[in-house]
Structure 1
């Protein structure tokens, strides 16, 4: 005798016989992916990135015997290349009995100054600065700006002495737009300062 319920069950089983295989495969994939993710989480070290600003501190070096100032140049005490410029400020000074100092303006023309290589190494700007044309690497020196400077004596006020201050300024060489914008300079194709666009 034909058992309808019995035959329907067999047909249904034949129709869905791939279902147990699919379930087993899904379970295996879940375990594998879960195990891989757990391994990555448990075994990946973190990376710490520490950024610091480059340093471009300038320091003036010179020889001075109390009368003559010689071999004036600037060292880039920083750790990245920098453009360097220098201002020369001259004053007459006299120490008063009460310990104060009387200061009068002086002119660079009151000094006999022998400058370094102004054609190749330095540019005298109309803004009162002397620009070292090439950037200076960290730890390196500019060429000599002044090889020798001494008081002329012609206009020296009685009781006063000359004080020539050498004031250095620097700016990081990269990006070059920084020096162009801040100091108002122009650069040649080699990255050397070759002119001024304004008074900086």
Structure 2
């Protein structure tokens, strides 16, 4: 084989190697990009209580109007739990619950608002009064609080009738 032929084969082999490396490099380094932007809604609620001058007496009624307002930027479902700081006071008190718009779940003790709550809208009243039993003793009514605790979840993907379903992933 002549010297020129060997050089020519070497050059061809070198060019093939360079082209192969360039092709592999191009294949491995090829990129395409796409930007996915997500915006998350802010789910915020405020409990609004009207509880003027409570003075519980046996046989009396105390005004306690409880509503929840959606102050976030997405519609949501709401649930509320009502607790007494004093079990004796709780045992002689009856809450006037709005059962048309709220449903108590006896499994977790929460009252669930039966409707999707739009942005900047308040629920109907959960309750308006607390009735004290006629036979309650004053020592049972001494220094107690009615604690109102509310939670919410975004309603996206659910219908009005699925308010219980929307909260299933939450644990407390």
TM range (shorter): 0.5 to 0.7
Pick the aligned partner of 1:77 from 52, 56, 71: 71
Q: TM-score, normalised by structure 1?
A: 0.53
Where in structure 2 are the equivalents of 1:128-139 lying within 5 Å? 128-139=109-120
> For structure 2, which runs of at least 5 residues remain unmatched after alignment?
1-34, 55-61
Alignment root-mean-square deviation, CA: 3.1
Q: Residue 79 of structure 2 contacts residue 110 of structure 2 at CA under 8 Å; is this kept in 1?
A: yes
Q: Give the aligned partner of residue 186 of structure 1.
A: none
Deviation string for 1:3-59 (max 9, x for gaps)?
Answer: xxxxxxxxxxxxxxxxxxxxxxxxxxxxxxxxxxxxxxxxxxxxx986432122121
User: Does structure 1 residue 191 correspond to structure 2 residue 171?
Assistant: no
Instruction: Count the aligned residue pairs.
Output: 126
Distance in structure 1 (CA, Å) of the matches to 2:141 and 2:88: 14
Q: TM-score, normalised by structure 2?
A: 0.61
- In the TM superposition, what is the alpha-carbon distance from 1:112 to its structure 2 partner? 3.0
Indicate the SS of the match to 1:112: strand
Distance in structure 2 (CA, Å) of the matches to 1:131 and 1:84: 6
Distance in structure 2 (CA, Å) of the matches to 1:85 and 1:172: 12
Indicate the SS of the match to 2:144: strand
Q: Residue 104 of structure 2 contacts residue 110 of structure 2 at CA under 8 Å; is this kept in 1?
A: yes
Larger strand fraction of residues = 1
Q: Which structure would you say has the larger RCO, counting Cα contacts within 8 Å and 6 or more residues apart? A: 2
> For structure 1, which runs of at least 5 residues remain unmatched after alignment?
1-47, 93-104, 177-189
Alpha carbons of structure 1 residues 79 and 65: separation in structure 2 relative to 1, 3 Å: same
Alpha carbons of structure 1 residues 175 and 91: separation in structure 2 relative to 1, 3 Å: same
